[in-house]
Amino acid sequence: MSYQLYTLPSGLHVVHRPHAGEVTYAGFAIGVGTRHESAHHHGLAHLTEHMLFKGTRLRSSLQIIRRMEEVGAELNAFTEKESTFVYCIFPKAHFNRAANLLFDIVQHSRFPEEELAKEKTVIIDEINSYRDNPSELIFDEFENILFRNHPLGHNILGTEGSVSRTTGQMGRNFLRRHYRPDNMIFFITGEADLSDWPLTPVEGNRLRHPMSTPHAADAVLPRTIRRHKDTYQHHILMGGRAYSLHDERRIPLTLLSNILGGPGMNSRLNLSLREEHGYAYNVESNYTPYSDTGICSIYLGCSPRHADAAMELVRKELRRLIDEPLTPVELESAKRQLKGQLIVSADSRETSFIALGKSMLHYGKYDPLPVLFRQIEAITADQLCDVAAEVLEPDAMLTLIYC
């Protein structure tokens, strides 16, 4: 599906991907996340995202809610380590209403003190609730250890102390510093009349300068850390640094992670740990690339008596990927499965819409599925072994255990 790329007089880029249907998606992809926070302002990016809906110069919090809800639309937002997304899903007839509201909340949020106090309480409750969910908490602590003393390692929510210290002026300063036209993209999927917008087409339909970010933290030496959490299960996370968003090896690593512990029940870890040995109900492999680094990890939950055996099985599967090239049949099957998963995922309009925003933000362009499929088809068995040796060496991994 093709798209058009424009620029407004302010310098803001606008991306429109036409799509027939009764629903349109529109929003801002903003090149700021928790890694851009200063040392004493952890959680400010996330709190700022929340406060966008709490009042502008033109509208109160209630008016913001009603503006789109009364026409059946949905207004959403989320914060990540390197980006923030604010978007709306609405009947196509209400494009102007949605666009006006989105521009208003992104440009003119006031951070009213009474709303800020309420929102800080909500977020602090959310922070405390994580203590009751070790399967999520372990990922936050793992990143904090892996990216020690670096903004990438900080919890997106922040801490109770950092959130409590946040003032409206801090939020307004953060908004002014990062929510700039040259650091945002307004993107649309669906039908939208842009005839009255003062748009200039972008030559080549590609951004020349995607968003930039700081350099990643120094590497962490492999070790095993145990935390006593008084839980029934052992929660185990093993992994380390991986390739960035701009490394061509990210595609082979994505395929490897899918083979190892992807969502399919035929993943090697699921077949070994769950189906064959019954050691773990949930086991998965995850690969998260950032602009200048990445994380590849394996998570599993199991009973204490099976923990050591389960970890040894994980190491065995990692060594298999390093030492034993996939057969032609295995490689073709793995590629076919990954491509099929991407097709199914792209069928979700919202998922496809967010993918458009992320791709434009990070790469300055959006490649259709056939381009990605050609990259997947070019992967060789030897290349997978090389990538596995570099990223999935078990003796080089950090291991965090909640027991």
153-162 confidence digits (pLDDT tens): 999 999 999 9
Region 224-402: CATH code:
3.30.830.10
Q: What is the pLDDT of residue 80?
A: 98
In this predicted model, what pLDDT tens digit does every residue of 304-335 receive, in sequence order?
Answer: 999 999 999 999 999 999 999 999 999 999 99
Six-digit token pair at 96?
């102007």
Q: Cβ atoms within 10 A of the Cβ of 198, count?
A: 10
Q: What is the pLDDT of residue 130?
A: 85
Phi, psi of 343, deg, nearest 5: -65, -45
Relative to beta strand 13-17, strand 184-189 is: parallel
Q: Starting from the edge strand earliest in sequence, which strands make up the sheet with 23-30, in order?
A: 74-79, 84-91, 23-30, 184-189, 13-17, 4-7, 200-201
What's the CA gap between 311 and 399, in Å, rounded?
A: 10
224-402 matches 4-205 in CATH topology: yes
Six-digit token pair at 331?
């490689």
What's the CA gap between 279 and 266, in Å, rounded?
A: 16
What's the CA gap between 24 and 91, in Å, rounded?
A: 6
Q: Percent of the chain beyond pLDDT 70?
A: 96
Rg (CA), the chain: 22
In this predicted model, what pLDDT tens digit does every residue of 180-190 receive, in sequence order?
Answer: 999 999 999 99
Architecture of domain 4-205: 2-Layer Sandwich (3.30)
Q: Where are the domains of the chain?
A: 4-205, 224-402
Are the C-beta atoms of residues 185 and 11 closer than 8 Å to each other?
no
In this predicted model, what pLDDT tens digit does every residue of 105-134 receive, in sequence order?
Answer: 999 999 999 999 999 999 999 999 988 899
Q: What is the pLDDT of residue 372?
A: 97
In this predicted model, what pLDDT tens digit does every residue of 84-100 receive, in sequence order?
Answer: 999 999 999 999 999 99
Q: What is the pLDDT of residue 395?
A: 96
pLDDT tops 90 at residue 292: yes
Least confident of 203-212, 264-273, 294-303: 203-212
